[in-house]
């Protein structure tokens, strides 16, 4: 990285000794970005902003929260009623978790559709799956903190998953609990870890970005950029586009926080935890529902747990399951159909996860689970062999030139000349 001359002498002086400004200029200003990105490329930066929102509201909540079984529930109620703006901060944190997952799920489906997990971005993709896992652990432990009925029983059911491990399972669960049931030691350590993990996520996000900037963003055509005619500098083109996306996102987010703050929560979590009574129908937070459906689809305890973790494990190895060299679904007619079937399948799993495990729901849940795994383990490997892709464009600029002729091409290249 060559250091750059800055007009401001203080900035220059610092940059000469600590090239932080050169670094930022290189990675966030000049950074060449494919010029054909659509709005699905907004969701990465949105996820980053959601993480910052969670950390800021989380730390301010922690200033009034008490991690003890006798006080936790009341301390959250006190945040809601007495602490200045406590209700706002908690509702932002609570709904922020849901919006964070919405954004990340869209971000992941974007990657699936446009083949962003393929070479040379395999590690970038795997780091993303790792972030998803860490987010799930963080959100699960956060949900335990208010110590309501769903907190308690969610924690009980999820920690008990580990008892399915042969031989050492029981010991692992007792170790996780620090006792013989979910109790005060459990709440304390969950708070400690809930505080820690978001910062671990920040670390992995940094690695994710380093891997991203090695080869740059993928794009809707899924072909490599071939030089300056295919890219735009990140600033101002994508900073402004990301800001516009952010304002739309914040509009929805604010609407939820101010008008329906409890829509995505469960009313039972406003009942203090009771170790002697399980709520009639326990459901996890909505973002866990597809995985919960897979857990329940298998009629065997260990099998169910393995299937649930397997659902994430297939994402880790996805770059090696889909061997087709074509990235974008735009040029893969059959893959495109199966992509949408997978998308619907995930919605079905989410719906089944929220329904009681009986009757027709069990059957649908099993079929949807089989389809999920078949998609990754059978359909994708087979498709990579039998599918005939559509012809790829020569370059990112080419389809624009040929489709619209001089007029549009001129309009598209005009701003480019200015910045060069």
Active site members: 213, 217, 241-242, 285
Residues in contact with 216: Cβ distance below 8 Å, sequence separation at least 6, in sequence order: 31, 32, 33, 34, 225, 231
Answer for which of 30, 74, 82, 300 binds other proteins (CB under 8 A) is: 300
Stretch that binds other proteins, among 41-49, 151-159, 222-230, 368-376 (CB under 8 A): 151-159
Binding track, positions 55-74, relative to ligand HEM; x by CB under 6 A: x--xx-xx--x---------
Tokens found for residue 399:
């389809």
For ligand HEM, the nearest residue by Cβ is: 58
Answer for which of 157, 165, 264, 383 binds other proteins (CB under 8 A) is: 157
Binding track, positions 180-209, relative to ligand HEM; x by CB under 6 A: --------------xx--x--x--------
Q: Do the Cβ atoms of 242 and 42 come closer than 8 Å?
A: yes
- Nearest residue (CB) to other proteins, 9 versus 166: 166
Minimum gap (Å) between residue 130 Cβ and ligand HEM: 13
Stretch that binds ligand HEM, among 141-149, 275-283, 329-337, 406-414 (CB under 6 A): 141-149
Give 148's DSSP letter. Answer: B
Map 43-96 to HEC letters: HHHHHHHHHHHHHHHHHHHHCCCCCCCCCHHHHHHHHHHCCCCHHHHHHHHHHH
Could you give the CA distance from residue 215 to residue 194 in angstroms, rounded to a whole number?
A: 33
Tokens found for residue 363:
């059957």
DSSP, collapsed to helix, strand or coil, labels residue 332 as: coil
**9-46 exposure pattern, b = at least 16 Cβ within 10 A, e = fewer:** eeeeeebeeebebbeebbeeeebebbbbbeebbbbbbb
Q: Is there binding between residue 97 and ligand HEM (CB under 6 A)?
A: yes
177-236 residues near other proteins, rule: CB under 8 A = 177-183, 185, 189
Could you give the CA distance from residue 250 to residue 125 in angstroms, rounded to a whole number?
A: 26
Stretch that binds other proteins, among 6-14, 126-134, 292-300, 336-344 (CB under 8 A): 292-300
Q: Do the Cβ atoms of 120 and 215 come closer than 8 Å?
A: yes
Phi/psi for 148 (5° steps) reads: -90, -175
Quickly tell me which residue has 């922690």 as its tokens.
62
Answer for which of 299, 325, 333, 410 binds other proteins (CB under 8 A) is: 299
Answer for which of 104, 129, 139, 396 binds ligand HEM (CB under 6 A) is: 139
Could you give the CA distance from residue 277 to residue 188 in angstroms, rounded to a whole number?
A: 22
Answer for which of 16, 85, 281, 390 binds other proteins (CB under 8 A) is: 281
Stretch that binds other proteins, among 109-117, 149-157, 372-380, 382-390 (CB under 8 A): 149-157
How big is the chain by its Cα radius of gyration, in Å? 24
Quickly tell me which residue has 């989380």 as its tokens.
58
Minimum gap (Å) between residue 71 Cβ and other proteins: 17
Minimum gap (Å) between residue 387 Cβ and ligand HEM: 38
Answer for which of 25, 42, 83, 93 binds ligand HEM (CB under 6 A) is: 93
- Chain residues binding other proteins by CB under 8 A are 153, 156-161, 163, 174-183, 185, 189, 275-278, 280-282, 296, 299-301, 304, 356-358
- Chain residues binding ligand HEM by CB under 6 A are 51, 54-55, 58-59, 61-62, 65, 76, 90, 93-94, 97, 100, 135, 138-139, 142-143, 145-146, 194-195, 198, 201, 265
């Amino acid at each position: 990285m060559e250091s750059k001359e800055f007009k401001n002498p203080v900035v220059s002086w610092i940059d000469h000794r600590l090239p932080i400004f050169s670094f930022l200029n290189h990675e966030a200003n000049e950074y060449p970005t494919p010029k054909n990105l659509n709005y699905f490329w907004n969701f990465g930066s949105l996820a980053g902003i959601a993480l910052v929102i969670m950390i800021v509201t989380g730390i301010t909540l922690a200033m009034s929260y008490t991690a003890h079984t006798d006080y936790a529930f009341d301390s959250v109620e006190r945040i809601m009623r007495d602490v200045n703006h406590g209700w706002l901060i908690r509702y932002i944190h609570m709904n922020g978790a849901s919006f964070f997952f919405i954004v990340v799920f869209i971000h992941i489906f974007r990657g699936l559709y446009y083949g962003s997990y393929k070479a040379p971005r395999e590690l970038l993709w795997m780091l993303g799956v790792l972030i998803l896992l860490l987010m799930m652990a963080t959100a699960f432990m956060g949900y335990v903190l208010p110590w309501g009925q769903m907190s308690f029983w969610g924690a009980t059911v999820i920690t008990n998953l580990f008892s399915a491990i042969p031989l050492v399972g029981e010991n692992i669960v007792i170790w996780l609990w620090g006792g013989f049931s979910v109790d005060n030691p459990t709440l304390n350590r969950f708070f400690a870890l809930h505080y820690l993990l978001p910062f671990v996520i920040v670390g992995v996000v940094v690695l994710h970005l380093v891997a991203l900037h090695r080869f740059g963003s993928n794009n809707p055509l899924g072909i490599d950029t071939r030089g300056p005619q295919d890219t735009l500098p990140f600033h101002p083109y994508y900073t402004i586009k990301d800001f516009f996306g952010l304002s739309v996102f914040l509009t929805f987010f604010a609407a939820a926080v101010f008008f329906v703050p409890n829509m995505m929560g469960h009313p039972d979590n406003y009942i203090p935890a009771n170790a002697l009574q399980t709520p009639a129908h326990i459901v996890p937070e909505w973002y866990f529902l597809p995985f919960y459906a897979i857990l329940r689809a298998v009629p065997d305890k260990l099998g169910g747990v393995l299937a649930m973790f397997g659902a994430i494990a297939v994402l880790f190895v996805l770059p090696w399951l889909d061997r087709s060299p074509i990235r974008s679904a735009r040029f893969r007619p059959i893959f495109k159909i199966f992509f949408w079937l997978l998308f619907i399948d995930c919605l079905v799993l989410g719906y089944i996860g929220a329904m009681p495990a009986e009757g027709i729901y069990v059957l649908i849940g099993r079929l949807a689970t089989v389809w999920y795994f078949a998609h990754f383990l059978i359909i994708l490997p087979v498709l990579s062999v039998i599918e005939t892709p559509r012809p790829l464009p020569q370059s990112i600029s080419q389809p624009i030139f040929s489709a619209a002729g001089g007029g549009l091409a001129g309009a598209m290249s005009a701003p480019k000349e200015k910045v060069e």
